[in-house]
Structure 1
Amino acid sequence: MQTEDVNRNNEKLDLRNCTHGQLETLLAELGQPKFRAKQIEDWVWVKNATSLDQMTNLSKALRAELADYVTLGGVEEIARQVSQDGSRKYLLRFPDGVAVECVGMPSKNRLAVCVSTQAGCAMGCAFCATGASGLTRSLTAGEIYEQVMHVRDDFNTRVTSVVMMGQGEPMMNYDATLAALRRLNSPEGAGIGARHLTVSTCGVIPMIKRFANEPEQFTLAVSLHSANQSTRNILMPGVKKYSLIHLYDVMGEYVDKTGRRPTYEYALIQGVNDNEDELGALCDFCRGTLAHVNIIQLNEVPGSKLKPASPERAEEFVARLASVGVEATIRNSRGADIDAACGQLRQRMQEL
C-alpha cells in the first residue's frame, strides 16, 4: 500500500476493518513508530473513539495527517426504544445507509447484548420479521463489534455477554463473525470470556463442523424449532438441505470434539409445533445428548398468522423434556412492550 495511491484514489483505510499489519504499514510510510498502531487500536477497540480528534495521545499534526488516509466508519443511531424491563433496542445505520438492530438487556451486575451479523437475512424463516425482507448484505467484523460498543456506551457499563442472535445467519458470514468474536474476546478489545460469547445458527452443517475446530470456547446455539422434518422445512426453508438426521450427527460430533453443551432454541408456535407429536419428536431428538433446550415464547410479528403457544404449554414442554433427562428452561422474554423481535424495529422505521 502506498499512501500516495490511497490519497489519490480517495480510498481511505477504515480503522475498524483494517488489520494490525495494514495500520503498521501506513504508519511506517508516514514515518511513525510501530507503537502508534497500538495506541490507535486502543482508541478504536477499547475506548470506541468516534473521531481522530479524540486520540489525544497523538499529536495534532499526526491526527491531521491521518485524516487524509483513514476513516473511523461509525454508526448513527436512528431509533431507540426502551422497555419497562430496562431493555433497550437500537436501530443503527452505517455510512452506506444500511441499518441493523441490536439490543441491550441489563440484569443485576450484568449486561447482555444481542447483535446482528447481517443486514436482513436470506434464510426465510416463517416466524421471523427479518427474513420477510431478504438479505441486504453481510456486516464486517468491525460493524458487528461496533454494535456491542454502542450499547456499552449507552448503558455506560461493561458488557458481560454477547449473543449473535439478531438479524442474519452468522454461519453465512462466518469469517466476519469469527473475527468479531475474537475481538470481543481479546483483552485488547472488549475482554469478554469466550463462554459468554454465543453464536446462533439455523443449522448450517458445514459451518458447525468448522466452528467445532476453532480453538476458543465460544458457545453454540442452534435454532431447532421442530424435530419433525416436514414441520421444520415449512418453518425454516433456508436449511431444508440440511436434514435433521445430519444435524443430529454433526451436533454429536461437536459435543465429542469440544466437550461443550450446545443449546437448541425452540419457539413454541400455537397449532404448529406445540402438539404431542412435535413434543415427542423433540424428546427423541434430545434424549441422551448433552444439549440444553431453550423454550421461547414466540414474539408476534404484525401481519403474521403465527401465534405464540400458551405459557402453560411451555411448562408442559419443560416437564416432559425433564422426564427424559433433558434440561430445558423457558427463556425469560425481554422487551415485550417494544419491537422486540428481530427486524420489527427496522420494518417499522421503513414504514414511516
Structure 2
Amino acid sequence: MSSLPLITAQTEEKLLAFLTEHGHTKFRAQQVLDWVWRKRVTTFDAMINLPPALKNLLAEHFRFHTPEIVEIHGSADTTRKFLTKMEDGSLVESVIIPAAVAENGEKSERVTLCVSSQVGCAFGCKFCASGLLGLKRHLTTGEIIGQILSAETIAEKRVNNIVFMGMGEPLSNFDNLADALEIITSHRGLEIGARHITISTSGFVPGLKKLAAYPRQIRLAVSLHGATDEVRDQIMPVNKKWPLSQLIPALEEWSRGRNQMPTLEYILIRDINDSPKDASHLVRIAKRLHAKVNLIPYNTVEGLPWKRPSEERCRSFRDAVHKARIPVTMRYEKGHDINAACGQLRLRKEQEKNGSTPR
C-alpha cells in the first residue's frame, strides 16, 4: 500500500496550492483536473498536453487507485449493492439505485448512489447492521470518492444523485466528508449539484453545527426514528448524549437562512414507534422544523429482534401524519432481496471470513 495521496482526493484548492508551491500556474491545475474528471485517465502519462517535468512531479507526489470490487448483488428492482475492499482490507458497502421513472412520468436518467462514510459505525443504532461489528475507522476522502468511481464502472453510467446513507455517521467524519463534497460538487470535479446530494445523520449535534456553517445547499436527512426521548433512547444510543432538546435546536440552526426543508427519516418498527401516539409526537416535531417525513417500514436484519409492522398499521401511521398536513412519503426499501440495508453484506462477509455464520 503506497503512502502517496490519491490525485482523486485533491480538491481544486489543494491541488492549486501544491502546484503553485512548485512553480506552476492555475492553468496547469485546471488541466490536471480536466484529465482526471472529464477525460477520466488513470495514469499521469496519459495527460499528453502536460510537460514531462510536471507529469513526473505529479507521479512523485500522487497516485491513482480505485477500490477493488469484491461482490456485486443485483436485485429484482434493479438496485445493485456492491462490496469494495480498501487497501487495508476493510470492506465497504455501497448501493446503486436507478430511478426508472421521473416525476413527470417519463424515463428517468437519475442514478442514485448510497455512499458509506466509515468502515462500520460507532453509533450502534439498534435496528442497523452497520454497528454490529463496531467502528473500525473513518473513510478517507479518496475512499469516499472511490465508491462513486466504482459505481460508475458497474452501472456504466454517471452517478448524478448521492445520498450519504450507507455505513457510518457522515458528520463524525466531517473533514474528509467536506473535501469529498467539494470534489463532488465542483465544476472541475464530478460536477453534481449540491441539491442532488443528501447527508443523513443519526443526530450527531457537533457535526450538525459544522454543517450549519457549510456554505453549499446540501440536503439534510435526520434518522429520527423516535419522536420522544423515551422511544429514541431504546433504538438510538446517540440520543442519550444528544437528546431531542439539543437535536431540534441544532436542526433549527441548520435551517436558518436556507430555503430547504430537512427530511425526518422514520423507520417504522412494530410495537416500538408505530402507535397513533407516536405519530402525534412526530407531527409536533415536523411542524416545529417545517420538515418533510419519510416513513420506512423496517427492513429485517438477521440477528436483531425488531419486526416490521403490518401494511395496514404502516398506512394508518402515514395517514395520521398526512392528515396533519405534513409532507409525508412511505418509502419501501429497495433491494430487500439482496439485503440492501446498511451493513448487511459486510456483516455476512466478515462472519464468513472469521469462520462464523450469520445469525
- After TM superposition, the score normalised by the length of structure 1 is 0.89
The one of 96, 103, 112 aligned to 1:104: 96
Q: Could you tell me how far 1:332 is from its partner in structure 2?
A: 3.5
Q: Distance in 1 between matches of 2:256 and 2:15?
A: 40
Does residue 291 of structure 1 match 2:291?
A: yes
Counterpart residue identity of residue 165, structure 1: M
Equivalent residue for 1:340?
Answer: 340
- Which deviates further from its counterpart, 10-19 or 247-256? 10-19
Question: Percent identity among equivalent residues?
Answer: 40
State the match for 2:82 in structure 1.
90
Moved more, 108-117 or 11-20: 11-20
In the alignment, the residues of structure 2 paired with residue 105 and residue 197 of structure 1 have an alpha-carbon distance, to the nearest angstrom, of 14
Is 1:323 the counterpart of 2:327 in the alignment? no
Deviation at residue 116 of structure 1 after TM alignment:
0.5
Is 2:173 the counterpart of 1:173? yes
- Of 116-125 and 137-146, more deviation after overlay is shown by 137-146
Structure 2: where are the runs of 5+ without partners? 100-107, 353-359
Q: 1:288 to 1:323 in 2, by over 3 A?
A: farther
Deviation at 1:293, TM superposition (A): 0.5
> Once structures 1 and 2 are overlaid, which stretch shifts more, 265-274 or 205-214?
205-214
Does the Cα contact within 8 Å between 1:117 and 1:169 map onto a contact in 2? yes
Matched, 1:40 2:24: no
For residues 117-168 of structure 1, give each alpha carbon's deviation from its aligned partner in whole angstroms, at most 9, with x where no partner exists.
1111100100110111111111122221221222123222222210000001
How far the C-alpha of 1:46 sits from its partner, in A, is 3.9
Closer/same/farther in 2, CA of residues 203 and 188 from structure 1, 3 Å limit: same
Asked whether 1:156 is paired with 2:156, we answer yes
2: CA distance, partners of 1:165 / 1:25 = 32
SS at structure 2 position matched to 1:149: helix
SS of residue in 1 equivalent to 2:290: coil
Structure 1 residues 42 and 271: CA distance shift in structure 2, 3 A: same
Q: Deviations over 1:208-259 (max 9, x none)?
A: 2221222211101100000121221120113321111222222233323323
Say which SS state the counterpart of residue 16 (structure 1) adopts.
helix
- Name the CA shift for 1:23/1:209 in 2 (closer, same or farther; >3 Å): closer
Residues 1:72 and 2:64 aligned together: yes
Tell me the C-alpha RMSD between the 2 structures.
Answer: 2.4
Mapped pair 1:307 → 2:299? no
Pairing of 1:172-251 with structure 2 (within 5 A): 172-251=172-251
More moved, 60-69 vs 128-137: 60-69
Contact 2:204 2:238 in 1 (8 A): no
Between stretches 298-307 and 25-34, larger displacement belongs to: 25-34
- Preserved contact between residue 10 and residue 183 of structure 2 (Cα < 8 Å): no
Q: Distance in 2 between matches of 1:155 and 1:28?
A: 37
**Is residue 280–residue 321 contact of structure 2 (8 Å, CA) maintained in 1?**
no
The 3-state SS of whatever aligns with 2:241 is coil
Q: Secondary structure at the match of 2:152?
A: helix
- Determine if contact 1:212/1:258 at 8 Å carries over to the other structure: no
Q: Is the 8 A contact 1:50 1:74 kept in 2?
A: no
Deviations along 1:16-59, one digit per CA (max 9) or x if unpaired, are 33455664576678886654433332333344444445444457
CA contact (8 A) 2:222 2:263 kept: yes
Quote the Cα distance in structure 1 between the aligned partners of 2:269 and 2:142.
Answer: 35
Larger mean Cα displacement after TM superposition, 115-124 or 246-255: 246-255
